[in-house]
Each structure stands twice: as C-alpha cells, then as structure tokens.
Amino acid sequence: MAKRTQSHTDELQVVKVNINGVDYVRGVEPRLLLVHFIRDIAELTGTHVGCETSNCGACTVILNGRSVKSCSMFAVQANGAKIQTIEGLAKNGELHPIQNAFWENHGLQCGFCTPGMIMQAYWFLKENPNPSDDEIRMGLVGNLCRCTGYQNIIKSVKAASKEMRG
C-alpha cells in the first residue's frame, strides 16, 4: 500500500437509512461501520458486536433483503438502504415465529449470539422455507454460539419453519 502523503478531510457524509420502518439521517465519517450506526446513532442495541472480524455473525442484519454482517461494511455503503434488525421482528407485542421458536426450544443460553442467529434464520427461511437439519446447519454456518452447542438452535429454526409454513 502506498505511503499516505496527504492529510485527510474530516468532512462528514450524510447517510440516510430506513431501519425497521423509521428513517435515520446523520452525517458520519466514511469509516464508521454500519453496526455502529445502528447501535450508536439509531440506538438499536439489539444488533451485537461480537468478534468484529466477520466470523461470528452476531451483527447480522437484513440489508435490502439480504443478510449481511454489519461489522464488515461501512455505513456510507448502506446509504438509501432498507434495513431490518432484531427490533423490527416482533409486531404489536407479539414475538415473530422465529423468536417464539427460540423461546420455546431453549435456543439460547446467554443470548449474545441470538439476534444474529435469528436475523440469519429469518433470511435463510425466506430462501429455503422447508429446510433439512443439514441445510439449517449450512444456513447458520456464519453464526457462532459459545453456549448451546447448536442443537437447540437447529431445533428452533426447524420449529419456526414448520410454524411459518402453517
């Protein structure tokens, strides 16, 4: 990488995103990561920062319909985007079927990985509404849990898929 010779502008760039139906507009440094926009500016702290190296998936959100790791993109990249986070799943005080399935099947212990697990499951079940256990494992391979041993997470997603198919 070439040596940096110039000083850098501190100019902020305006980012406008819609998170769970609400618009947020803020001038930010281009280096601000999306996850920090979500947590510190939108104050939606359900999205977690785990490893910060795109391994653990705790920061997973839905960006324009695709699950992404929000620690591995800049907020400026999301300008104009529609984002869904864990806070957007429950409707009128009713848990989303995936949230409910995690509750019913003990799909969490400490809960740190849970928002990422659920958001990834949310995207995955849209792509594959009737998955096998193996397919669920491959669908959640980018999300790490250090408590449950995964069995109950798989069970939860399976139960949610049944519930959602009706």
Beta carbon nearer to other proteins, 14 or 90: 14
Contact flag: residue 60 with other proteins (CB under 8 A): yes
b/e 84-120 (16+ beta carbons within 10 angstroms → b):
bbbbbbeeeeeebbbbbbbeebebbeeebbbbbbbbb
> Furthest-apart CA pair in the chain: how many Å?
61
**Window 142 to 161, contacts with other proteins (CB under 8 A):** 142-143
**Sequence-ordered strand ranges (E) for 6-162:** 13-19, 22-28, 60-63, 66-69, 82-84
In whole angstroms, give the CA distance from residue 112 to residue 41: 21
Contact pick of 52, 87, 104, 163 for other proteins (by CB under 8 A): 52
| Range in contact with other proteins (rule: CB under 8 A) among 70-78, 97-105, 107-115, 148-156 | 70-78
In whole angstroms, give the CA distance from residue 161 to residue 31: 38
Contact flag: residue 141 with other proteins (CB under 8 A): yes
In whole angstroms, give the CA distance from residue 65 to residue 19: 12
Contact pick of 20, 79, 100, 109 for other proteins (by CB under 8 A): 79
**Window 101 to 130, contacts with other proteins (CB under 8 A):** 120, 123-124
In whole angstroms, give the CA distance from residue 158 to residue 162: 6
**Window 7 to 26, contacts with other proteins (CB under 8 A):** 8-11, 13
Beta carbon nearer to other proteins, 85 or 120: 120
Contact flag: residue 46 with other proteins (CB under 8 A): no
In whole angstroms, give the CA distance from residue 115 to residue 32: 21
Do 52 and 71 meet the contact criterion of CB atoms below 8 Å apart?
yes
What character string, x for contact with other proteins (CB under 8 A) and - otherwise, covers 83-102? --------------------
Task: Point out which residues bind other proteins (CB under 8 A).
Answer: 1-2, 4-6, 8-11, 13, 29-31, 33, 52-54, 57, 60, 66-69, 72-74, 76-77, 79, 120, 123-124, 138-139, 141-143
